A and B are shown apart, each in its own frame.
Chain A
Amino acid sequence: MTDQTTSSPVRRALASGGARNGGLVLALLVLCIVGWATAGDRFLSVSNLLVVLGLAAITGVLSIGMTFVITGGGIDLSVGSVLGLASVWASTLETQRIAQESTWLVMVFCALAVGLGAGLVNGLLVAYGKVVPFIATLAMLVAARGLAELIANRRTQLVTATSFKSALQGNLLGVPKIVWIFAAVAVAGWFLLARTTFGRRTVAVGGNAEAARLAGIKVKRHTMSLYALAGLTAGIGGAMMLARTGAGSSTNGTLYELDAIAAVVVGGTLLVGGRGTIVGTVLGVLIFTALTNVFVLNNLNSSVQQVAKGAIIVAAVLLQQRFAAREGRGS
């Protein structure tokens, strides 16, 4: 993108998101065909679809926040640890027995607040402290995990609050509640990125921070809000993890940041910033999850899986570069 005008690359970046998703949909379809061919009805059943979605939900929510950060030209390595911290903090609260009836609200609010707080710290360090995002969030990755261990006293804390379980566990209209949460976060994220000033500013800041500053965008404040948003999604993920596992553990969310980054990049968001797509990210998450599911149904050994995953990430990025080069020639 070596365009000199300020508005057109932004507009085109937003518009091109839709066009590039064709390849992802195709990849997902191919995966489904492979799954159906190798595992038949075990793969193409409603119950298996729900297993896939349930597995995708938590990584998916993290990936939505990650999309914003990466689009804005940054990276957040701390979301997995912050998820663990949020889940542990919330499950610790439960042991305090705050207002038995509304415990679940308190717990969810706590998880969100912890995530948001950690995100704000990341944002402050990056935007105002001028620490490189990679380093600032790496520090948070380590620190949040340590704090989670301190709070949990390195024990797994059971969630026994029936109010929390009935609110967040189980199904709604036959679909797990955490999948609904993922859907809601995805829709909200899509709206925010593709349909609001905030989204356009994110693309502008990621594409060229200096130009964005000259165009009157408060770049520092905006950057901070992106990390806060990623932290918030990590907090949501923490609450979802509590719902899914019924336990707060300081090991929750280990290495999830890498899954999220992989999904975002495979989805077509540029790692250097300046272009992002929530639809692509959701497809990326689904591709990885479906892939895992096909592997599991076929009893493929885990080492082979890891090699395959690595190959897929590289292939996706190579394809993206081909696309980008073609677009560059076209402009």
Chain B
Amino acid sequence: MSARTQRRRLVAGVTTALTAVLLAAACTSNEPEPTDDDTAGAAVAPGSDNDEPGDKIVIGFSAPASDHGWMGAITSAARAEAEKYSDVTLNVAEGTNDVNLQISQIEGFINDGVDAIVLLPFDGAALTDVATRAMNAGIPVVNVDREFSSPFAARATILGDNYGMGVSAGTYICEKVGDDPDAVIGEIAGIDSLPLTQDRSQGFADALADCGQEVDNRVAADFTVQGGEAAATNLLQAAPKLTAVWNHDDDQGVGVLQAIENAGRDEFFMVGGAGSANVMRHIQDGDSVLEATVIYPSTQAADGIKLARLIAQNKTLGDLASLGVPRQIQLYAPVVTADNVDDYLSIGFES
């Protein structure tokens, strides 16, 4: 089974992502400045021997279905991270968008008595109860990306910054457009029923308000290529002239770009979201309306694995004065443009 985690240390050919992303980690409320994790790969950061093999541990991992590139990258980066450690065995549950099934996977981990659980829930609220049960059973849970609704459900939480993504995108558009009253701004959201989508839209609206702009045309897609194509076609139909568009998600961006091409439109510029390699290449080449994208790290779950390992082995996160592992780490959402795309291309994921 290729799905089995091998216990050998592989040569890390996968992500050097952690460095770049974590170097730029953002502050969260009343949290000391996190976090400059040790470097990716097998190198050991100066002053930290965290990567030295410790107690043998089993980590249970569950995430939604890999139905788009970002989510696929989440799981593969988590696997790759676990394989770097000879002392970690990773149990990867089948990715699912059915909270009912995901709950039973976590119940299975509790039965197995794993040493830690890394959980990216399809819906944070729906998985809160079972995560709390795991915590009560003495298994530390690391919550990734979509937050639980109770502080008792996780020992540590690692998040992207959805609101910050919107702010970064809105601020960039503000810089370009200024307070031009005739500017028409479009927004292509992801799955509207997810709180993360609302956070992104809220951040976007708040940032635009700073320069007196607002979203004139908003459509929602579903993170898929076909959904992006359909939503963008509708948007272009509704707005005969656009100035700027923010598309929340680069996976659906493939379809969005196709729709723009089909319509033969190029009077506006577009900002992406998430940071796929494909979009970064477009930014590099300058061959499309894409000018920039906003990073939403697909290495979060890999960070989750690292944190879970440190927690299970009673180690301390490096580069902090405090002991142990922080309760919450929120990653930063930088804007990638033609000027700095070369720095970020290494953490771009393939759609």
Contact = CB atoms under 8 A, between A and B. Distances in A.
Interface of A: 42, 45, 47-48, 50-52, 54-55, 58-59, 149, 152, 154-158, 169, 241, 244-247, 249-252, 254-255, 292-293, 295-302, 305
Interface string B95-115: 111111101110110011000
A154 B193 contact: yes
Nearest to A59: B100
B74 to A, nearest CB: 14
Contacts of B95: 302
Nearest to A249: B123
Contacts of A247: 123, 125-126, 128, 149
Nearest to B90: A299
B2 interface: yes
In this complex, which of A42, A246, A255 has the most chain B Cβ atoms within 10 angstroms of its Cβ?
A246
Given A155-B195, A299-B93, 9 more contacts: A42-B111, A51-B111, A59-B100, A152-B193, A156-B195, A246-B125, A251-B97, A254-B98, A296-B94
In this complex, which of A45, A156, A244 has the most chain B Cβ atoms within 10 angstroms of its Cβ?
A156
B40 interface: no
Nearest to A156: B125
Contacts of A302: 65-66, 94-96
Interface in B180-200: 192-195, 198
A245 B103 contact: yes
Given A149-B193, A296-B93, A249 B125 contact: yes
B195 to A, nearest CB: 6
Contacts of A292: 94, 101, 104
13 contacts: A50-B107, A51-B111, A246-B126, A247-B123, A247-B149, A249-B193, A250-B193, A252-B99, A296-B94, A296-B104, A297-B108, A299-B92, A301-B1
Given A55-B101, A154-B198, A245-B100, A299 B3 contact: yes
Interface of B: 1-4, 65-66, 91-101, 103-105, 107-108, 111-112, 122-129, 149, 192-195, 198
A311 B91 CA distance: 26
Contacts of A48: 108, 111
A245 B98 contact: no
A297 B107 CA distance: 11
Contacts of B99: 245, 249, 251-252
Nearest to B5: A299
In this complex, which of A52, A298, A301 has the most chain B Cβ atoms within 10 angstroms of its Cβ?
A301
Contacts of A295: 94
Contacts of B101: 55, 292
In this complex, which of A51, A157, A255 has the most chain B Cβ atoms within 10 angstroms of its Cβ?
A51
A50 B93 CA distance: 18
Nearest to B106: A51
A4 to B, nearest CB: 46
B307 to A, nearest CB: 22
A296 B129 CA distance: 20
Contacts of B127: 245
Contacts of B98: 254-255
Contact of B129 (A47, A50, A52, A245): A245
Contact of B104 (A45, A51, A152, A156): A51
B304 to A, nearest CB: 18
Contacts of B104: 51-52, 54-55, 292-293, 296
A227 to B, nearest CB: 24
A252 B193 CA distance: 11
A302 B104 CA distance: 15
A149 B107 CA distance: 29
A169 B93 contact: no
Given A169-B129, A247-B125, A301 B94 contact: yes
B126 A45 contact: no
Contact of A158 (B93, B94, B122, B125): B125
B303 to A, nearest CB: 22
B65 A42 contact: no
Contacts of B128: 246-247
Contacts of A296: 93-94, 104-105, 108
Nearest to A241: B100
A239 to B, nearest CB: 14
A298 B91 CA distance: 9
Contacts of B94: 292, 295-296, 300-302, 305
A79 to B, nearest CB: 14
B275 to A, nearest CB: 25
Contacts of B123: 156, 245, 247, 249, 251
Contacts of A149: 192-193
A299 B253 CA distance: 32
Task: Across the A-B interface, give the 7 residue pairs with the lowest CB-CB distance, nearest first.
Answer: A245-B126, A247-B125, A302-B94, A55-B104, A154-B193, A156-B125, A51-B107
Nearest to A304: B3
Nearest to A57: B100
Nearest to A169: B129
A293 B103 contact: no
Contact of B103 (A50, A156, A244, A249): A244
A300 B3 contact: yes
A301 B193 CA distance: 27
Contacts of A249: 99, 123, 125-126, 193
A294 to B, nearest CB: 11
In this complex, which of A52, A54, A297, A299 has the most chain B Cβ atoms within 10 angstroms of its Cβ?
A299
A250 B92 CA distance: 27
B111 A45 contact: yes
A297 B108 CA distance: 8
Contact of B97 (A52, A154, A254, A299): A254
